[in-house]
């Protein structure tokens, strides 16, 4: 089993199905995998698979980065209705197009066709703090270190906190209010 998949399955659960990403000439296809039965009961996990084959850059970081995204939610009964497969594919596609990484503190607005009426209009990149500390990265077969970024759905008001006050203040507000970030019905903090 590939090291990345093993790393993901130990936290997110067994790989149950997935969605094929859009093929791009000269680039690896980035798929979105679905996991069930992980460390959190009645939670579905999602992860990009393949993004880490492309070196990405980020302002303020020297060199290149290898990255995969995760997301998780309680339920749902029907994963085909979930926001996450479309949202993760969208963010991964943007990374491939721009060759720029999305890292902790970055907010990515989602287009209406991805959001489909959800009150969560953006994704906030965070460390995967709900999981054990070793989950934040993995060394894959070719020796590359791959960072795992947790994409959390946020409202436009929550995204505005990040824009106005910075990601550190936003994360302080999350600690203060302690919302369940896997609950797609959670109360917004702004």
Question: pLDDT, tens digit, for every residue of 69-114?
Answer: 999 999 888 888 899 999 999 999 999 999 999 999 999 999 999 9
d(CA 28, CA 132): 29
Task: Give 142's DSSP letter.
Answer: T
Q: Find where tokens 């703090």 sit.
A: 129
What is the reported pTM?
Answer: 0.95
What value does the mean pLDDT of the chain take?
95
Task: Give 75's DSSP letter.
Answer: -
d(CA 75, CA 63): 39
Query: What mean pLDDT is predicted for residues 155-175?
Result: 97
The domain ranges of the chain are 3-156
Q: Which of 7-11, 19-23, 163-167 has the lowest mean pLDDT?
A: 19-23
119 Cα distance to chain centroid: 18
- The per-residue pLDDT for 1 is 65
Query: What mean pLDDT is predicted for residues 44-63?
Result: 93
Q: Find where tokens 């990484």 sit.
A: 101
Give the model's confidence band at 173: pLDDT under 50 very low, under 70 low, under 90 confident, else very high. Answer: very high
d(CA 145, CA 151): 19
Beta carbons within 8 Å of 185's beta carbon, 6+ residues apart: none
Strands 66-74 and 145-154: parallel
């Amino acid at each position: 089993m590939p090291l990345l998949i093993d790393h993901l399955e130990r936290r997110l659960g067994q790989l149950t199905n997935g969605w094929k990403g859009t093929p791009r000439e000269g680039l690896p296809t980035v798929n979105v995998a679905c996991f069930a039965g992980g460390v959190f009961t009645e939670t579905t996990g999602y992860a990009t698979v393949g993004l880490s084959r492309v070196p990405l850059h980020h302002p303020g970081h020297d060199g290149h980065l290898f990255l995969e995204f995760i997301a998780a939610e309680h339920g749902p009964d029907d994963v085909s209705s979930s926001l996450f497969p479309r949202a993760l594919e969208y963010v991964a596609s943007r990374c491939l197009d721009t060759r720029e990484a999305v890292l902790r503190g970055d907010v990515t607005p989602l287009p209406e066709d991805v959001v489909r009426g959800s009150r969560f209009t953006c994704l906030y990149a965070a460390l995967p703090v709900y999981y054990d500390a070793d989950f934040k990265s993995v060394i894959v077969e070719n020796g590359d270190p791959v960072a795992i970024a947790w994409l959390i759905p946020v409202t436009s008001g929550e995204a505005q906190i990040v824009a106005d006050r910075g990601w550190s203040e936003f994360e302080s507000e999350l600690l203060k209010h302690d919302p369940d970030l896997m609950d797609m019905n959670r109360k917004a903090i702004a």
